[in-house]
Amino acid sequence: MSAFASLAASSTSMTEETRPIEEIIQEICGLPTDLLGRISKQAVDEMGRRAKTSSKSKKTPKKTGSMPKGRVPDQLRKPREWVNHVKADAIANGWPSYTMHQTRKNKETGEKEEEDIEMPGSEQNAEGVHVFEGTITDEMPKGRAFTHKDAMSLSAVYWKVKTQKGLRQDLYEEFDASYPKDDSESDEEAEKKAMEKERLKQEKVDEKERKKQEKLDEKERKKQENANATGKKEAKVVKVKKASSAAGSAEIDADSISLSPVAASSSSAASSSSAASSSSAASSSNAASSKIPTATPVKPVKLAKPTAPKKVKKEEWSCANDGMVHSWEEDGVKYLRNYAGQVWMDDEGQLGEWAGQWDAKKKILDTDAPAPEFEDE
């Protein structure tokens, strides 16, 4: 018996007794290469077969809310009866030529293409049946008959309920009068349903906008709260800085502290010793010294370092180079100065006495500079 036959026999007997999987794998690994390929192929085929079987065995869930099979929905019942009415009229009385609008899918591009096809009118064949004109041939002696598909296209040409336009309004009015009103909803009910549907749609849109606005308001409110919290923190820091500056201004100079009780006692002792005798002075000084309180050491307080005032940069004076003098003030004195730096005293807006030459580099007025001489015009 070959190795493959023994493996097949062992797999057949697996139903009778269970063998360890490791033992089966070990036997498979010991097989030749060609047998391993056959086993692999059969295993893959078996897995595919079982997958198909399991997928077929799964029950398809029943659709809920769908129309029972064979029953036409109420909203489609009247349009379908209108198509049947047009078909019956065309077969009995014939039809004129018309344009059929058709939409087809291009197999190469996959896009939908629309086209208009001119359909011929009707003529009667030898049996008196209305067929399409020009379709009676030797191969088709009876001609092409009028079908339900043709009736669908012709019904749209005869009358469209949506646009209230068509070639055969009289035929539609005849059909509408004969159609039972109880089997279809009235136009008023249809309008009410449409209005209710539109109302619900608008309510959903309004609810969505309201929730969106609430989110924006909540975001703005949190932003305002964060801004207020930041402002309170800054105000608190300013208050703390003010309190610390007040405490620094209230610091006491250690040199200004005087021990008044000690000074008063020492001065009284000196005066009593000069006026009285040596014995009475000693006794009075001992008594005074016993009443003197002990001075407690004062902890030196660090004074706040004064900050130097910031120097404000003085704006450089300038005027137009027009040969005229302009008002200029230096150290509280009003002058008249031109673009070249020549300065005269301001005599109530008039040119006064010569004051000097302004040195722009040294920022000083050179009073020793000679006055300029002007030629008489």
The string of pLDDT tens digits covering residues 66-110 is 556 666 677 788 899 999 999 999 999 999 999 888 888 888 888
- The dihedral over CA atoms of 30, 34, 40, 46, expressed in degrees to the nearest 10, equals -120
pLDDT at residue number 371: 85
Distance CA 190, CA 57 (A): 44
pLDDT at residue number 93: 93
pLDDT at residue 117 greater than cutoff 60: yes
With CA atoms as reference, report the closest residue to 31 among 20, 40, 21: 40
The angle formed by the CA atoms of residues 111, 113 and 114, to the nearest 5 degrees, is: 155
pLDDT at residue number 16: 46
Using one digit for the tens of pLDDT, what is the confidence trace for 20-50? 888 888 888 888 888 888 888 888 999 988 8
The distance of Cα 264 from the centroid of its chain, to the nearest Å, equals 83
pLDDT at residue number 122: 93
pLDDT at residue number 278: 44
Mean pLDDT (the chain) is 76
pLDDT at residue 147 greater than cutoff 70: yes
First to last CA, the chain: 145
Check if the beta carbon of residue 95 is closer than 8 Å to that of residue 85.
no
Cβ neighbours around 65 below 10 Å, total: 4
Using one digit for the tens of pLDDT, what is the confidence trace for 153-184? 999 999 988 889 999 999 999 999 998 875 44
pLDDT at residue 359 greater than cutoff 50: yes
Q: Is 355 in a helix, a strand, or coil?
A: strand
Question: Which position has the higher pLDDT, 299 or 341?
Answer: 341
Confidence of residue 210 (pLDDT cuts 50, 70, 90): very high
Using left for φ > 0, alpha for ψ between -120 and 50, and beta otherwise, residue 173 falls in alpha
Using one digit for the tens of pLDDT, what is the confidence trace for 222-268? 999 988 888 777 666 555 555 555 555 544 444 444 443 433 344 44
pLDDT at residue number 306: 59
pLDDT at residue number 181: 73
Give, for 285, the enclosing helix (H) or strand (E): helix 278-291
Confidence of residue 330 (pLDDT cuts 50, 70, 90): confident
pLDDT at residue number 248: 52
Distant-in-sequence, close-in-space partners of 355: CB < 8 Å, separation ≥ 6: 335, 343, 344, 345, 365, 367
Residue in the structure block whose two tokens are 């909203």? 75
Q: Is 169 in a helix, a strand, or coil?
A: helix
Question: Which position has the higher pLDDT, 114 or 11?
Answer: 114
6-15, 133-142, 143-152, 300-309: segment of lowest average pLDDT: 6-15
pLDDT at residue 10 greater than cutoff 60: no
Check if the beta carbon of residue 262 is closer than 8 Å to that of residue 295.
yes
pLDDT at residue 290 greater than cutoff 70: no
Confidence of residue 215 (pLDDT cuts 50, 70, 90): very high
Q: Which range scores top for mean pLDDT: 45-59, 206-220, 307-321? A: 206-220
Residue 366 pairs in a beta bridge with: 357
Q: Which range scores top for mean pLDDT: 64-68, 151-155, 280-284? A: 151-155
